[in-house]
Amino acid sequence: MSAHAVVSHEDWLAARKQHLAKEKEFTRLRDQLSQDRRELPWELVEKEYTFEDESGRHTLADLFEGRGQLVIYHAMFNPETAGPETSWTTDAACMSCSFWMDNFNGVTAHLNHRDITIAAVSRAAFPAIAAYKKRMGWGFPWYSSAGSDFNFDYHVSFTPEELRTGRVDYNYRPSTFSMSEAHGISVFLKEGGRIPARRISRLADQAAPLRRRARCSRTFIRFPQ
């Protein structure tokens, strides 16, 4: 039997109002923190990255699909490093990432209507991605970044050397992360012929508003002339 307190309605209402004041203060602090994050400077990204899907190879600019904003979910999936300790297998992406991506189909049309493209990116070769995507019945874009530095530059993939020596940079600090892949969210904004990209990589312990807490910054991308 639970020992949790059971009180009268009047006592419950008094306790609830007291807690509500704390909730409102938390909301004000969170709103200010969100505003501070939006005002962070943007970073110019000039490096070229290549991605693959069923139609071939694409640049980062291509992933916008003509829209002004791009949300990339870094899904943990790399059959080459799958093992008993990983949250993904040789033929399936990370179970938590899959739960997260299972919501993309319903929200994609709403984001597109607001000039936002959402896509997933993983280091798995595209045939493995395509097979799992079909199995799950997903219709959103999901690209392979295999052969590109994209995952490593955004600190969601780690080399064997980094893992062996414990020199993993994840969530803006040294980490003891033990798997070759990590999750995150990166957001990019395109303006004219370049991409001032707002990069919000939500990783590890920062992504509470989205599902887990994550890393946040803003990025600026310039297209080659």
H-only helix segments in the chain: 9-38, 95-101, 104-113, 126-136, 150-153, 160-165
- Is 24 exposed, middle or buried, given 0-12, 13-18 or 19+ CB atoms closer than 10 A? exposed
| pTM of the predicted protein model | 0.83
Question: What is the model's pLDDT at position 224?
Answer: 39
Which superfamily does 41-222 belong to?
A: Glutaredoxin (3.40.30.10)
Question: What is the model's pLDDT at position 206?
Answer: 45
83-139 pLDDT tens trace? 999 999 999 999 999 999 999 999 999 999 999 999 999 999 999 999 999 999 999
For residue 57, list its beta bridge partners: 52
Helices (H) and strands (E) in the chain, counts: 6, 11
Q: How far apart are CA 198 and CA 221, in angstroms?
A: 9
Reduced to 3 states (helix: H, G, I; strand: E, B; else coil), residue 60 is: coil
Question: What is the model's pLDDT at position 69?
Answer: 92
Q: Give the start-to-end residue ranges of the domains of the chain.
A: 1-39, 41-222
Which tokens sit at 166? 């414990």
Question: What is the model's pLDDT at position 202?
Answer: 57
Q: How far apart are CA 80 and CA 18, in angstroms?
A: 53
Sequence-distant (≥ 6) Cβ neighbours of residue 176 within 8 angstroms: 166, 168
Residue linked to tokens 């414990």: 166
- Which residues of the chain fall below pLDDT 50? 205-225
Question: What is the model's pLDDT at position 204?
Answer: 52
Question: What is the model's pLDDT at position 73?
Answer: 96
Q: Could you count the other beta carbons within 10 Å of the beta carbon of residue 166?
A: 11
Q: Could you count the other beta carbons within 10 Å of the beta carbon of residue 142?
A: 26
